[in-house]
Amino acid sequence: MKRSRALTRLTGWIGASVHTRGFVLWVAALITGIVCVWQHVCSTELASDIETLKSRRDAIEARIGFLEMDCLELSSRERIERHATEQLGMRYPDSGEVIWLGPSGRIAPRRSPEEYVEGTADAAIDS
């Protein structure tokens, strides 16, 4: 049986012994198995880490939702008015206590608030 030159060069370092070839094959299979098991262990650990991070993300999103609800409750108009009247002693001013200022910062003549809302008194304020 004649071997090709390329095959002889390729397998020349192994030697002619069947036992040596079997040992090299066995070592290659063992290394391949170890690599496969190692890859499976790493992928399992990564999957576990991903699940842990997902549960942490869900907990953080739930906390954000509670904080947003607290923020809306704390910034409600009713709560602010109640705090201003009960804690700070504030009240709405009487009509005689209101001073209207024009865009230039000068005191404007007294007019009805509807005129300011409609914008008809803007020209008279600066004159």
Q: How far apart are CA 18 and CA 4, in angstroms?
A: 18
Numbers of helices and strands, H then E, in the chain: 5, 0
Q: How far apart are CA 123 and CA 109, in angstroms?
A: 12
Q: What is the pLDDT of residue 40?
A: 96
Six-digit token string for 34: 């170890």
Tell me what percent of the residues of the chain surpass a pLDDT of 90: 51
Task: Give the confidence band of 6 by pLDDT, cuts at 50, 70, 90.
Answer: low
Q: How far apart are CA 93 and CA 84, in angstroms?
A: 13
pLDDT at 54 exceeding the cut of 90: yes
Q: What is the pLDDT of residue 79?
A: 92
Which residues, 6 or more positions from 71, have their beta carbon under 8 angstroms from its beta carbon? Answer: none
